[in-house]
């Protein structure tokens, strides 16, 4: 069975475009996962994307995960709520000062608690200053991402509220994927 999927691409072309969200109440911290860990990254990916059909990385081998995470400039920033992982943002530097926010989202139990806007603000700021942490990398000139009609209902609004501007829209027919959830085969997801 096929479904219609709309994919929107958004960008910022200056650090001044970023409109930060308020910091949520409570003990919410954002920490860079500096040691590339396929196990941890796969956990974050499946926990965040399990209910919204993130499947593109599930077939990757351990070595492929390690290769992706170990590329110079790739960064994973994790939001913690009282010590528990709540979500993450993964930055993927590209050529000519471009940084893609390749993955961003919250684990379902943490959605709707104002953590997402804060995490997106923080992650976008880290995309803008990524070259400061990676000597030899060109300063960031553009930060971009894409979202689609399968993502969370508040995703697009969060991107727009953070100052991202729409630059492309594509509509495709895709084969419907089963929703794997964080535990494939279970009813949790």
Owning domain of residue 168? 2-175
Alpha carbons within 13 angstroms on the beta-carbon side of residue 126 total: 23
| Integer angstrom CA distances of residue 148 from 53, 85, 137 | 11, 24, 30
pLDDT of residue 151: 87
Length of the chain measured in residues: 189
User: pTM for the full model?
Assistant: 0.92
Residue-level pLDDT at 171: 96
Task: Say if CB 65 and CB 42 are below 8 A apart.
Answer: yes
In a domain, 183, yes or no: no
Residue 52 is predicted with a pLDDT of 85
Q: Residue 84 falls within a domain, yes or no?
A: yes
- The DSSP bridge partners found for residue 88 are 78, 105
Total domains in the fold of the chain: 1
**How do the pLDDT tens digits run along the chain, 189 residues long?**
888 999 999 999 999 999 999 999 999 999 999 999 999 999 999 999 988 888 889 889 999 999 999 999 999 999 999 999 999 999 999 999 999 999 999 999 999 899 999 999 999 999 999 999 999 999 999 999 999 988 888 899 999 999 999 999 999 998 877 666 555 544 444
């Amino acid at each position: 069975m096929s479904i219609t999927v709309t994919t929107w691409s958004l960008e910022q072309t200056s650090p001044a475009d970023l409109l930060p969200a308020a910091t949520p109440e409570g003990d919410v911290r954002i920490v860079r996962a500096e040691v590339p860990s396929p196990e941890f990254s796969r956990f974050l990916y499946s926990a965040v994307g399990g209910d919204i059909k993130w499947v593109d990385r599930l077939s990757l081998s351990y070595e492929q995960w390690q290769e992706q995470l170990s590329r110079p400039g790739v960064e994973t920033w994790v939001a913690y709520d009282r010590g528990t992982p709540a979500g993450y943002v993964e930055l993927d530097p590209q050529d000519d000062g471009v940084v893609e926010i390749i993955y961003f989202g919250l684990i379902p139990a943490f959605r709707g608690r104002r953590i997402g806007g804060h995490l997106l603000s923080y992650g976008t700021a880290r995309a803008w200053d990524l070259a400061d942490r990676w000597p030899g990398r060109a300063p960031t000139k553009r930060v971009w991402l894409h979202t689609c009609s399968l993502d969370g209902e508040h995703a697009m609004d969060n991107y727009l509220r953070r100052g991202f501007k729409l630059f492309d829209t594509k509509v495709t027919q895709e084969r419907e994927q089963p929703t794997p959830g964080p535990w494939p085969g279970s009813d949790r997801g």
